[in-house]
Structure formats: C-alpha cells, structure tokens
Structure 1
Amino acid sequence: MNIKQYLDSTYLKTAFQTGISETENEIVVKNAIKEAIDEGFKLIMIRSEYVALAREMILQANSNLNVGTVIDFPEGKSSLETKVKEANEAIANGADDLDFVCNYEAFKNGDTELVKQEVLVATQIGLANNKTVKWIIEVAALSDKEIIQLSSLIKNIVISNFKEEDYASVFVKSSTGFYKTDDNSPNGVTIPAIIMMLENASPLPVKAAGGVKSYEEAIEMIRLGVKRIGTSSAKAIANGGNIPNQY
C-alpha cells in the first residue's frame, strides 16, 4: 500500500494562530508545499491565499501534487454567495480540490433546505470545473443521529442531481480540526463517526481529517474504507511515526 497517496498534507493555520508574522507564516507554507512535493503526497491542503503560490511551485518542480483549499473555513456559516465567490477564486488560482465547510449549524437548527441548496450549487460549480469537492460536516459538533442524517443528505443531493461517474469526486469529510468542544472531548475524527459516515455517505467517498495521529490509525481508517486522510503530519505518519495532539 502506498499510504502517501491517501494523505492530504495540511497546513491551515494563520499567522495570528501561530503567533508569527505573515512573512514567517508564508515560509512555513512554502516548506509544507516543498515537503509534499518531495514526499510524493496526494495533495497539499492550504488556505486560499496560497493556492497560486503552490501551483507555481508545483509547476517549477514538474510535480503531480494536487492543490486543495478550504472554503468558508472553519465555521461554514457564510452565505451561499460567499461560498461561491471563494470557490470561483480558488478555481481561478489553480485549486484541484475544494473543501467546503457545510453550514452544519443551519442543519442542526432544522434549515435543511439551505444546506441542500449550498451542497447542490457548490458541487455543481466544482464538478463543472473538473474539481474534487469535499463537504466538511464537523462531526464533533453533531450527534450520532445528525452525522447519519447530514451524510445521507449530501449523498442524496449528489445521487439525485449528478451522474454516477461524478460520485467519486464528491467526498463527505469529517472535520476542520479547528472546532472547539466544551468538555475537551475529541474535536476531530473518531472511529465511530467514520463508520457512520461510510455507512450513510456511500457510494460517495469519505475523507478522515482532524486527529489522525499515527501510521496505525491511518491504516485503520484506510481499512475501514476511507479514501483520503487530512493531516498536518503527513511525513511523520508516512514514516510510521506517532504525532501527539496535532491535526
């Protein structure tokens, strides 16, 4: 198994979050892109302002690395218009994957029509531009019932509106890695959440993100059926290491 082709090497922290300057943060991003190129990972996942930089570095290196970015990150509460605007900018800058944060708060509050509309419209934009689309549902913010329902909602929208050959390009993704729980419970992916997602999102693929900390955990996710894993410690995982408390 080539585990590197399952790994979306991820760096999504802002300069403010890390306590460094914008210039220093850009250096971190460049290093993350270079590492992903050198290691042969599936994709580098970065904030949208760095997509053009990544595309330039990949071109110069003659690499097959894909570039992904997050849309309406990390809360997913913005309007559909905002999501569309961000997605179109990311596409123009050369992104391959668009990871949208689903408006899970609207879903929790019963506004399923809003969620259905954003999933439909944003997925249409991604697929029309030959992009991979992922919907982050933020499992730590949801009950088990809500995980099942939201995974099923996304699946049903895709099955009802797109061709079967498109299904592999629309993922349901577990977490942003930035959600704050009130009781210090896990704020990212868990095995039970992944099983619920796999059972209810199928035939759509699932991406595990937020808290995969070791090679063994990554392998367990893959064996369960996960097609992609998002982690800021892809190199350590690929080399069989354990990474405490990182996303």
Structure 2
Amino acid sequence: MNIKQYLDSTYLKTAEQAGLSEADNNTVVQGFIQEAIDEGFKLIMIRPDKVKMAREMIAKAKSKVLVGTVISFPEGTDSLEEKLAEALQAIEDGADELDYVANYEAFKRGETDLVKNEIYNGTLLGLENHKAVKWIIEVAALTDAQIIQFSALIKNVVITNFKENCLPNVFVKSSTGFYKTENGLPNGATFPTIIMMLENASPLPVKAAGGVRTYEEAEEMIRLGVKRIGTSAAKTIANGETASGNY
C-alpha cells in the first residue's frame, strides 16, 4: 500500500491563528507545499489565498501533487452565493479539489432545503469545472443520528442529480479540525464516526480528517474503506511515527 496516495497534507492556519507574521506564515505554507512535492503526497490542502502559490510551486517542480482548498472555512455559515464565489475564485487560481464546509448549523436547525440547495449547487460548480468536491459535515458538532442523517442527505442529493460516473469525485468529509469541543472530546475523525459515514454515504467516498495520528490508524481507516485522510502530520504518519497534534 502506498499510503502517501491517501494523504492530504494539510495546513489551514491563518497567520493570526499560528501566532506568526504573514511572511512567516507564508514560509510555513511553502514548507508544507514543498514537503508534499518531495514526499509525493496525494494533495496539499491550503487556504484559498495560498492556492496560486501552491500551483506555481507544483508546476515548477513538474509534480503531480493536487491542490485542494477549503470553502466557507471553518464555520460553513456563508451564503450559497458567497460559497460559490469563493469556490469559483479558487478554481480560477488553480485548485483541483474544493472542500466545502456544509452549513451544519442550518442542518441541525432542520433547514433541509437550504442545505440540499448548497450541496447541489456547490457540487455542480465543482463537477462542471472537473474538480473533486468534498462536503465537511463537522462530526464533533453532531449527534450520531445527525451524522447518519447528514451523510445520507448528501448522498441522496448527489445520486439524484448527478451521473454515476461523477460519484467517486464527491466526498463526505468528517471535520475541519477547528471545531472547539468540551472536556477534551475528539474534534475529528474517530472509527465509530467514520463507520457511520461509510455506511450512510456510500457509494460516495469518505475522507477522514483530523484525529488520525499513526500509520496503523491510517491503515485501518483505509481498510474500512476511507479513500482520503486529511492530516497536518502526513510525513510523520507516512514514516510510521506518532503525530502529536489534533489534525
């Protein structure tokens, strides 16, 4: 198994969140991009304003690493129009994959039509531009029943409105890594939540984001059926070491 082809190496902190200057944070981003190129990871996941930088570095290196970015991150509460505008700009800047944060708070309030509408339109924009799309449901903010229902909702919107050959390019993804939990509870992927997602999102693929800290955990996620793993410690995991962070 080439585990590196399952790993989306991820750095999503703003300069303020990292406690760095913009210049120093850019240097960190460049380091993550270069590492993804050197290690041959599947994808580098960065903020939308860093997509051009990643595209240029990858092109210069003649690398096959994909560029992914996040949309409406991390709360997912932007309007549909705002989400589509941000996604379109990311596409124009060279993104290969769009990881939208679904409006999980609207879903929890029972605003199903709003959520279905953004899933449909966000997916349509991505697929029309030949991009993979992932929908982050933020499992730490949901009950088990809501995880099941949300995964099924996304699946149903996609299989109802898009051709079968599109389905492998629309993922359900677990977490942003930025959700604040209480009492030290996990804010990312756990085996129980991923199993629920796999069972209820199928035939859509699932991305386990956050919480995977070792090669063995990554291998088990893949064995269960996960197609991608989001982590800020991709090299550590690939080397068989234990990551220290939450994402």
- Per-residue deviation, residues 99-131 of structure 1 (Å, max 9, x unmatched): 000000000000011000000000000000000
8 Å contact 1:99–1:135 — kept in the other structure? yes
Equivalence for 1:197: 197
Equivalence for 2:215: 215
How far residue 76 of structure 1 moved from its aligned partner, in angstroms, is 0.2
Cα distance between partner residues in 2 of 1:5 and 1:151: 24
Q: What is the TM-score normalised by the length of structure 2?
A: 0.99
Identify unmatched segments of 5+ residues in structure 1: none
Equivalence for 1:70: 70
How far residue 237 of structure 1 moved from its aligned partner, in angstroms, is 0.4
Equivalence for 2:32: 32
8 Å contact 2:158–2:167 — kept in the other structure? yes
- Structure 2 counterpart of 1:12, which letter? L
8 Å contact 1:233–1:246 — kept in the other structure? no
3-state SS in 2 of match to 1:17: helix
3-state SS in 2 of match to 1:160: helix
Identify unmatched segments of 5+ residues in structure 2: none
Q: How many residues align?
A: 247
1:59 aligns with 2:51: no
Cα distance between partner residues in 2 of 1:43 and 1:98: 12
Cα distance between partner residues in 1 of 2:82 and 2:222: 33
Equivalence for 2:110: 110
How do residues 6-155 of structure 1 correspond to structure 2 at under 5 angstroms? 6-155=6-155
- Per-residue deviation, residues 132-170 of structure 1 (Å, max 9, x unmatched): 000000000000000000000000000000000000000
RMSD: 0.6
3-state SS in 2 of match to 1:182: coil
How far residue 246 of structure 1 moved from its aligned partner, in angstroms, is 3.1
How do residues 222-241 of structure 1 correspond to structure 2 at under 5 angstroms? 222-241=222-241
How far residue 18 of structure 1 moved from its aligned partner, in angstroms, is 1.0
How far residue 244 of structure 1 moved from its aligned partner, in angstroms, is 2.0
- Structure 1 counterpart of 2:123, which letter? T
Equivalence for 2:156: 156
- Per-residue deviation, residues 204-240 of structure 1 (Å, max 9, x unmatched): 0000001111111101100000000000000010010
Cα distance between partner residues in 2 of 1:34 and 1:245: 20
Cα distance between partner residues in 2 of 1:243 and 1:58: 25
Identity, % of aligned positions:
68
Cα distance between partner residues in 2 of 1:244 and 1:30: 21
